[in-house]
Amino acid sequence: MNVYWREVRRGQRLVLASDGADHEEEVGGVRETKRGFDAFAKTFGYEPGRAEKGIPSMDEAKEFVESHRPWELFEGGGGLTVDPEVRPPAPATDA
């Protein structure tokens, strides 16, 4: 399994991907707004502390998301570290 950041239109998403599989699970994200950066780390319940608005920089917002280690909520996600290389946007798929 791999954990990495993927570029999206207005920010980046933290992705958990299985080795050799086409499935990617979004486990967090950062988006740019007029007031800074909004960040969230995925959870399976209501935990308002896992989202924050108005973070001054992209790097600080990504650190906020990574500090929650949201990939550990998924089977096989324990012990992983985030790949430092940001991946390009995912190719568009036909519906």
Domain spans, the chain: 2-76
The pLDDT value recorded for residue 93 is 65
Residues 12, 38: Cα–Cα separation, whole Å = 11
The pLDDT value recorded for residue 33 is 97
C-alpha distances out from residue 20 to 29, 39, 56, 58, 89, Å: 23, 28, 36, 30, 19
Confidence (pTM) = 0.89
The pLDDT value recorded for residue 2 is 92
The pLDDT value recorded for residue 92 is 72
Q: Which residues pair with 33 in a beta bridge?
A: 36
List average pLDDT for each run of 10 residues in the chain, which is 95 residues long: 94 90 88 97 92 97 97 87 93 65
C-alpha distances out from residue 52 to 36, 48, 64, 88, Å: 11, 8, 8, 24
The pLDDT value recorded for residue 77 is 81
